[in-house]
């Protein structure tokens, strides 16, 4: 039911009350409200005629019983016979489209025919006259319509007030009953603590949902995370793997710089230029700070270039120093360059081949390192030459060892950015734990079996699904 229909129904009820206040009979009221006004008088005539006939016949029956002394009742007039006699006698006097004869006239006719005694007829006529007089005072339909419209308008104006007041009174009564006979309510301070913790959870859950991705749930990513955790815990096996892997990553990333250094050393070999190369190699072996190293090399470069005769030779050394600075930007860049010098691996082109191999890792299944063993065997001579430079001793050199190295490199390329976001997610979930524990403790202590709880106590805990998914990784 719509709001308008609801108000209309209530207005109708008020109108009925108004009809009762002005002494309107139910039949009149129903007829007016339903729009039945054409045959209203007929309704009263029929009902009055039925009662009058019953009264007349009852008196006649008693008289006949007295006069006939117990004769059969078959000779008495029935109600249908009297009605039919009246109808047959006066059928021709009334037009078909007009109303039938009234009950008063019918009783007068019955009296004239000798069917009803004088006293009985007069009593029936008086009764019907009072009924018709009452019916004539019945309100007109337009008055009832006005009452209905006014009631509807008043209801429209005051319904919100009545509705609110009724709701308030109803809720107040229920609340008073619960306070007196029901379970105790929780304190306002308890509700405050719960709601404050709940809002904090909502905020942290929104942050977690923005960071969370399906990638975090993949087996490969979780394997990479496990390897990273083992590295943080200084597991020796993974620590060596990480060290070799970082050197290999730098070699691949800075391969262009290594190739330019190699080309400069092979092409420009004057006495002063070779002195500059040896100076750099000596300081690389000392493992000094990279900033200090660059300052020393820059001073030596200024000294050597002032002694060179050709502009081409000066520019070559300046380009050489530029590539060294690029390599030194990597944490282990200078260490890798020193290994190349130490093991006298002059063929830096091998780095290009290693870069091509690692590019084949894209799209491969990295969940198990054995899936990469065949790739290592196909290029094993490259890994054997590169092994000492990236920290893999000859005794540890094997296809399985290099396959694990490639697995780590591939996972690192694939999930390094996601790993940083995942760590951020775990930090948020770690903060999430505190308000979560508060809510769990409050809901356990104040349960529905013993207390009347506000609706907030039944709301789902925001962020719980994400937390359960990564709970074992939250430290």
Which candidate, 246, 243, 251, places its Cα nearest to that of 340?
A: 251
Contact yes or no for 467/425 (Cβ under 8 A): no
Find the angle CA(210)-CA(212)-CA(216) to the nearest 5 degrees: 160
Question: Are 262 and 340 in contact, with CB atoms under 8 Å apart?
Answer: no
Report d(CA 220, CA 415) in Å as an integer: 9
User: Which tens digits make up the pLDDT trace of 105-119?
Assistant: 554 554 565 544 555
Q: What is the pLDDT of residue 139?
A: 52
Reported confidence tier of residue 242, pLDDT bands at 50, 70, 90: confident
Looking at residue 79, what is its pLDDT? 45
Cα distance between residue 466 and residue 129, in whole Å? 87
The conformation of residue 232, written as its DSSP 8-state character, comes to: H
Instruction: Determine the Cα–Cα distance for residues 110 and 467; give it in Å rounded to an integer.
Output: 97
Q: CA-to-CA distance for 473 and 475, rounded, in angstroms? A: 6
CB 314 within 8 A of CB 258: no
> What is the per-residue DSSP string for 38-86?
TTHHHHHHHHHHHHHHHHHHHHHHHHHHHHHTS--GGGSPPHHHHHHHH
Tokens in use for 228? 């990273």
The gap from C-alpha 161 to its chain's centroid, in whole angstroms, comes to 34
Evaluate if residue 250 carries a pLDDT over 80: yes
d(CA 217, CA 473): 12
Output the pTM of the full model: 0.57
β partners of residue 452: 185
What tokens does 204 get?
């942290």
What are the residues whose beta carbons fall under 8 Å from the beta carbon of 375, sequence distance 6 or more?
357, 360, 403, 406
Token digits for 86?
């009246």
- Residue range 16-74, pLDDT digits in tens: 555 444 444 444 444 444 444 444 444 444 444 444 444 444 444 434 444 444 443 33
Q: Are 286 and 321 in contact (CB under 8 A)?
A: no
Greatest mean pLDDT among 66-75, 123-132, 242-251 lies in 242-251
- Which percentage of the chain shows pLDDT scores above 70? 61
User: Mind listing the pLDDT tens digit for each residue in 348-385?
Assistant: 778 888 888 988 898 889 998 888 999 999 999 989 88
Q: What is the DSSP string of 192-228?
A: HHHHHHHHHHHHHHHHHHHH--GGGGSHHHHHHHHHH
Token representation of residue 216: 């975090």
What tokens appear for 2 in the block?
């719509």
């Amino acid at each position: 039911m719509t709001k308008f229909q609801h108000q209309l129904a209530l207005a109708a009820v008020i109108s009925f009350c108004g009809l009762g206040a002005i002494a309107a009979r139910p039949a009149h009221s129903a007829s007016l409200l339903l729009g039945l006004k054409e045959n209203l008088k007929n309704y009263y005539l029929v009902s009055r005629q039925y009662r009058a006939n019953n009264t007349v016949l009852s008196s006649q029956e008693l008289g006949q019983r007295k006069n006939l002394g117990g004769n059969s009742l078959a000779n008495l007039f029935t109600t249908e016979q009297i009605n039919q006699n009246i109808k047959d006698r006066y059928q021709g006097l009334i037009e078909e489209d007009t109303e039938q004869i009234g009950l008063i006239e019918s009783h007068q006719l019955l009296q004239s025919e000798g069917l009803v005694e004088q006293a009985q007829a007069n009593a029936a006529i008086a009764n019907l006259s009072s009924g018709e007089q009452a019916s004539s005072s019945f309100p007109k339909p337009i008055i009832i319509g006005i009452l209905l419209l006014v009631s509807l308008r008043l209801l429209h104006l005051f319904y919100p007030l009545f509705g609110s007041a009724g709701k308030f009174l109803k809720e107040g009564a229920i609340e008073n009953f619960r306070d007196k006979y029901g379970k105790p309510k929780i304190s306002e301070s308890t509700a405050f603590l719960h709601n404050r913790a709940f809002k904090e959870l909502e905020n942290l859950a929104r942050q977690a949902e923005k960071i969370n991705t399906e990638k975090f749930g993949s087996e490969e990513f979780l394997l990479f995370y496990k390897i990273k955790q083992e590295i943080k815990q200084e597991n020796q096996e993974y620590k060596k793997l990480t060290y070799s892997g970082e050197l290999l990553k730098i070699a691949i990333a800075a391969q262009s710089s290594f190739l330019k250094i190699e080309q400069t050393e092979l092409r420009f070999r004057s006495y002063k230029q070779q002195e500059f190369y040896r100076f750099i190699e000596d300081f690389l072996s000392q493992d000094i700070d990279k900033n200090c190293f660059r300052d020393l090399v820059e001073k030596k470069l200024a000294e050597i270039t002032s002694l060179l005769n050709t502009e081409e030779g000066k520019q070559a050394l300046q380009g050489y120093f530029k590539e060294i600075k690029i390599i030194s930007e990597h944490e282990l860049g200078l260490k890798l360059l020193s290994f190349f010098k130490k093991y006298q691996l002059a063929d830096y082109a091998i780095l290009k081949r290693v870069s091509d191999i690692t590019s084949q890792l894209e799209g491969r299944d990295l969940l198990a390192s054995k899936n990469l063993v065949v790739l290592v065997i196909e290029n094993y001579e490259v890994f054997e030459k590169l092994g000492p430079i990236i920290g893999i001793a000859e005794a540890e050199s094997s296809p399985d060892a290099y396959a694990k190295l490639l697995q780590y490199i591939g996972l690192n390329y694939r999930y390094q950015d996601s790993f940083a976001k995942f760590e951020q997610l775990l930090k948020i979930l770690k903060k999430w734990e505190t308000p979560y524990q508060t809510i769990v403790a409050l809901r356990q202590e104040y349960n529905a079996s013993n207390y009347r709880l506000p609706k907030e106590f039944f709301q789902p805990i925001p962020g719980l699904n994400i937390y359960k998914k990564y709970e074992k990784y939250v430290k």
